[in-house]
């Protein structure tokens, strides 16, 4: 009898705990592009803010090195890895950008220096993150789409599900109302709530058929050309990072513009940007009509 009670004590609660679905309650940060042409003192400031917020982990949307020069590639990875090491103690998930990977050698060095393959998925609590590679293509090729479907099939019960790819090839068709690209059908089929990219050095967000498409803009990469053409905050051109809060099946994104020399420190909820900001860009806080 004693032995049976001991066995029940040892195993029954543990079996119940394993069977229970994981309850999500965590934060993560999204880090945007550093290149082409890393701007002085911007990326480090972004990393400093992210580190002070203490997310559970960081997701990098790619373009961490300038690249496209075989003689400098190893030194460039050593340089950015030193910056990461100086600021970040959190787990840091990489995504391949076109400045990071442009041929087979740079792809191998990307994996050597970041520790990540070109595509992979990971779980955090009950959430699923799928990281895809379009560093050398614009859209996602058939192999990437097959990998995505396989991961979504394998982790059907995960919630929420988020998919990342560096180039926001979806932005132009969606702006024209075109949802016929294959990725959109896959995201809808499997209940993926968020597709997140980088690359353009501008914040983009639009929602189609329940899927929120978002691009994190520059966390240190050059925006001078856009600014000279008259683009600014309302067109998504500002240095920022994104703070994500996952609770249960819900994920909320808060966009944080740098302050100091890098911006005006404006903060807004990502859902308040639908194609364009739906708030006073001079003072996002005024919409809340603060009483005091
Ligand atoms: Fe890029």
Per-residue pLDDT of 43-66, as tens digits, reads 999 999 999 999 999 999 999 999
Give 228-284 pLDDT, tens digit per residue.
999 999 999 999 999 999 999 999 999 999 998 889 999 999 999 999 999 999 989
Residue 95 CA to ligand 1 centre (angstroms): 11
Residue 25 CA to ligand 1 centre (angstroms): 31
Residue 12 CA to ligand 1 centre (angstroms): 51
Residue 139 CA to ligand 1 centre (angstroms): 13
Distance CA 63, CA 52 (A): 23
Residue 168 CA to ligand 1 centre (angstroms): 9
Q: Where are the chain's structural domains?
A: 22-276
Residue 198 CA to ligand 1 centre (angstroms): 7
Distance CA 277, CA 257 (A): 14
Residue labelled with tokens 């990281």? 131
Angle of the 73-87 helix axis to the 43-53 helix axis, nearest 10: 40
Residue 98 CA to ligand 1 centre (angstroms): 5
Residue 231 DSSP symbol: -
Q: Are 270 and 256 within 8 A, CB to CB? A: no
Give 175-226 pLDDT, tens digit per residue.
999 999 999 999 999 999 999 999 999 999 999 999 999 999 999 999 999 9
**Nearest C-alpha neighbor of 270 from the set 216, 222, 227, 228:** 216
Q: What top-level class would CATH report for the domain 22-276? A: alpha beta
Strand ranges (E), 119-277: 120-124, 127-131, 161-164, 194-197, 204-208, 211-215, 240-247, 250-257, 267-269
Phi, psi of 260 (to 5 degrees): 65, -135
Residue 17 CA to ligand 1 centre (angstroms): 43
Q: Give the residue-averaged pLDDT of 117-131.
A: 98
Residue 146 CA to ligand 1 centre (angstroms): 23
């Amino acid at each position: 009898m004693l032995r049976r009670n001991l066995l029940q004590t040892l195993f029954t609660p543990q079996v119940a705990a394993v069977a229970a679905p994981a309850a999500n309650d965590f934060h993560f940060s999204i880090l945007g592009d550093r290149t082409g042409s890393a701007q002085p003192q911007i990326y480090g400031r972004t990393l400093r803010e992210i580190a002070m917020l203490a997310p559970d982990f960081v997701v990098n949307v790619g373009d961490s090195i300038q690249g496209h020069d075989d003689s400098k590639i190893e030194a460039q990875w050593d340089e950015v890895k030193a910056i990461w090491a100086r600021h970040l103690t959190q787990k840091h998930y990489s995504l391949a950008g076109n400045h990071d990977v442009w041929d087979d050698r740079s792809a191998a060095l990307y994996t050597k220096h970041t520790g990540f393959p070109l595509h992979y998925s990971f779980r955090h609590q009950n959430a699923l993150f799928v990281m895809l590679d379009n560093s050398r293509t614009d859209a996602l090729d058939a192999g990437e789409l097959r990998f995505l479907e396989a991961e979504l099939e394998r982790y059907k019960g995960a919630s929420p599900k988020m998919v990342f790819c560096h180039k926001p090839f979806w932005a132009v068709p969606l702006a024209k109302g075109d949802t016929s690209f294959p990725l959109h059908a896959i995201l809808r089929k499997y209940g993926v709530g968020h597709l997140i990219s980088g690359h353009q050095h501008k914040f983009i967000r639009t929602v189609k058929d329940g899927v929120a498409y978002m691009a994190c803009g520059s966390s240190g990469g050059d925006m001078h050309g856009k600014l000279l053409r008259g683009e600014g905050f309302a067109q998504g051109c500002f240095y920022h990072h994104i703070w994500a809060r996952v609770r249960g099946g819900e994920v909320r994104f808060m966009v944080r513009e740098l302050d100091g020399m890098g911006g005006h420190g404006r903060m807004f909820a990502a859902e308040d940007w639908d194609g364009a900001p739906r708030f006073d860009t001079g003072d996002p806080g005024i919409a809340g009509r603060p009483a005091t």
